[in-house]
């Protein structure tokens, strides 16, 4: 487990299988991917 890597990944968007996933960390410290649509608003 690499906390530094998790911190860098948290909040990032990953594109997979035609969907965007937002990287987050749950209460147990495990990485979770939440399906999302990137907003077009600035």
Q: For residue 26, tell me if it sits in a domain.
A: yes
Domain interval for residue 20: 3-36
The answer to whether residue 22 sits within a structural domain is yes
The Cα–Cα gap between 17 and 29 comes to 25
Q: Is the pLDDT assigned to residue 38 strictly greater than 70?
A: no
pLDDT digits 0-9 by tens, 4-20: 766 677 778 888 888 88
Lowest-confidence range among 13-17, 24-28, 38-42? Answer: 38-42
* Number of domains, the chain: 1
- Smallest CA-to-CA distance from 19 within 41, 39, 31, 37 is with 37
Evaluate whether residue 42 is within a structural domain. Answer: no
- Determine, yes or no, domain membership for 12: yes
Within a domain: residue 27? yes
In a domain, 17, yes or no: yes
User: Rounded to an integer, what distance in angstroms lies between the CA atom of residue 42 and that of residue 39?
Assistant: 8
Q: What is the pTM of this model?
A: 0.55
DSSP 2-41: -HHHHHHHTT-EEEETTEEEEEEE-TTS-EEEEEE-----
Is 41 within the bounds of a domain?
no
Q: Look at residue 39 and tell me whether its pLDDT is greater than 80.
A: no
Asked whether residue 21 is assigned to any structural domain, the reply reads yes
State the average pLDDT over residues 21-39: 85
Q: How far apart are CA 18 and CA 10, in angstroms?
A: 20
């Amino acid at each position: 487990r690499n906390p530094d890597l998790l911190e860098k990944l948290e909040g990032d968007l990953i594109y997979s299988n035609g969907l965007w996933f937002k990287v987050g960390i749950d209460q147990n410290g495990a990485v979770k991917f939440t399906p999302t649509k990137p907003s077009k608003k600035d």
